[in-house]
Amino acid sequence: MIPSILFTVLTLLEHVSAVVTTKPNIVIMYMDDMGWGDIGANGNWAKETPNIDKMAKEGMLFPSFYSAAPICSPSRASLMTGRLPIRNGFYTTNRHGVNAYTPQTIVGGISETEYLLPELLKEAGYKSKVIGKWHMGHRRDYLPLNRGFDEFFGSPNCHFGPYDDVETPNAPVYRDDTMIGRYYTNFTIHQGLSNLTQIFIKEGTDFIEKQAKAGNPFLLYWTPDANHQPPYASEMFWGKSRRDSRYGDSVMEVDYGVGVILAKLKQLNIDQNTLVFFSSDNGAEGIAGKNGGSNGPLLCGKQTTFEGGFREPGIAWWPGTIRPGVVTPQLGTTMDILVTAVGLAGLDLPSERVYDGIDLFPVLSGKVESIERPVWYYRGNELFAVRVGRYKAHLWTWSHEHYDFCPGEYVKDVTTPDQVNRTANPIVFNLDNDPGEKYTILKGSMFKEAMSLISPYLQKHRDTMVRGEPALNYCDRMVMNWAPHGCEAIDYCLKGPTESSIKLCGWDH
């Protein structure tokens, strides 16, 4: 009897040990230009995101979840490095306080001195794949397979076009490190009609199935770009949105993709060993009008350091670990995903550098309600604002002198068309009561409370900041996607300039 009981106890202990030490799979669903107000869980009137909303009900909703930049490329670089763009080099010094990204003419890309999430997780045996939009450099040294990913399906660039392949090449689509076609010509997008999101969904479920069958822990970075201008959708969702826009159709389709991928995790019985994060690279593009997204009650949108530019949909889903239906007060950022994933894999972060993300696992697991931390709002090479707790202090204000990034929105001395330095007298908002940043706090006890909370973080940040070498200063037509690796095999190499015309990129936003 005793040996039998002992055997049972040892078996149970072995099972518990296995459960505790199993490395969870990580899935990052990263949308493109999707606004905070585009999902039903955050109050969108159309209620056309049932799968994302269900994910929020089954997991944890972050009403205050932030990107690291109000534009695509630096946001993605920070997601993959856990570090602000000012540290990882994804910014420009060509003009004060302007955003920069990675068009086809960009010479630079993500620095080889930065550790990307797949590189770190590889040490723990993870297999990894990125699907969709890369946007961290299109030259060969910067592509995903040279930066730690095992597989890649998608494009290093956005789906702008169509182009004539003479003055401007259409963006390439890669399978791993080889070009297999181009947008518009081989992978068609015709007046907003395209099957690309369906292809991205299939690529995602196939990868999950392959890794589950092999018993590998995996990282899936699923980042469709259908919501970016010009938005596209397949026939399945064409004209279906009550929002009466192609953008609405595209949101419905990526929501469908979220549902398919989560269903695959459940079907394979690996959902309880998989942490899924859902978010977006920056706020919705207000300048796009009807064909853009919604930032809900938040001020302005993409390109700006107001809440509509930085605050994104944020959901964490992990059945059996995250208690369902939690709406957390925690301030989260996309940079937290790397730090959290590395910790869950049983690894230590490299000790010689500063990480701006925090480990969210204590919050996700319910061990603590929230962790106090700052949120930094950089626009290019300048820190424009800081949030700690409920308070946000604007150190600089700027919408834009030429572009209407805040259509129909005006707040006196806040949505300024010119850059205004407020560092000596910051403009403060209580975001708990005023997420739309309409009611300024310029003096009094609440102002003093806010600055006493923010100032120590701000001083330490400035005293210890080591800026990375800016990667987004130089452009050259010669480096465009004229002849990517693999173009010979499909007879699709283009003739580009034979001489360099390198110059400072003319960023104006």
Predicted pLDDT at 354: 97
Q: What is the pLDDT of residues 81-103, one digit of tens each?
A: 999 999 999 999 999 999 999 99
Q: Which of 15, 96, 135, 190 is labelled catalytic? A: 135
Q: What would the pLDDT profile of 418-461 be if each residue is shown by its tens digit?
A: 999 999 999 999 999 999 999 999 999 999 999 999 999 999 99
Fold of 378-464: Arylsulfatase, C-terminal domain (3.30.1120)
Percent of the chain surpassing pLDDT 90:
93
Instruction: Report yes or no: 24 and 274 within 8 Å, Cβ to Cβ.
Output: yes
User: What is the average pLDDT value for the chain, to the nearest integer?
Assistant: 95
- Alpha carbon dihedral 375, 137, 406, 425, in 10-degree steps, equals 40
Q: Which is the catalytic residue, given 72, 158, 475, 505?
A: 72
pLDDT in tens, 268-313: 999 999 999 999 999 999 888 888 999 999 999 999 999 999 999 9
Q: What is the DSSP string of 72-141?
A: HHHHHHHHHHSS-HHHHT-S--SSTT------TTB---S-TTSPPHHHHHHTTT-EEEEEEE--S--SGG
26 closest CA partner among 112, 120, 90? 120
User: Helix, strand or coil for residue 441?
Assistant: strand
CATH of span 24-373: 3.40.720.10
What is the H or E stretch that residue 212 is in? helix 196-214
Pair type for strands 65-66 and 332-333: parallel
Q: Taking a C-beta distance cutoff of 8 angstroms, is the pair 298, 341 a contact?
A: no
Catalytic residue check, 394: no
**What's the alpha-carbon Rg for the chain, to the nearest Å?**
23
pLDDT band at 11 (very low <50, low <70, confident <90, very high): very low
Tell me what pLDDT residue 362 has.
Answer: 98
Separation of alpha carbons 481 and 496, rounded Å: 9
Name the helix (H) or strand (E) containing 373: none
Give the pLDDT confidence score for residue 494 in this predicted structure.
98
* Measured distance CA(204)–CA(398) in Å, rounded: 39
Q: Which amino acid is at 1?
A: M
Q: Where are the domains of the chain?
A: 24-373, 378-464
Annotated catalytic, 487? no
**pLDDT in the model for residue 22:** 85
pLDDT digits (tens, 9 = 90+) for 463-502: 999 999 999 999 999 999 999 999 999 999 999 999 999 9
Task: Answer whether 24-373 and 378-464 agree in fold.
Answer: no
Query: Where does residue 486 fall: left (phi above 0), alpha (psi -120 to 50 degrees), or beta otherwise?
Result: left
Count, in order, helices (H) and strands (E) of the chain: 11, 21
Residue 418's nearest CA partner among 386, 396, 438 is 396
Give the pLDDT confidence of 321-346 residue by residue, as tens digits: 999 999 999 999 999 999 999 999 99
Distance (Å, whole) CA 270 – CA 208: 10
Is a pLDDT exceeding 50 seen at residue 116?
A: yes
Confidence check: pLDDT of 226 > 60: yes
Residue 19: predicted pLDDT = 37
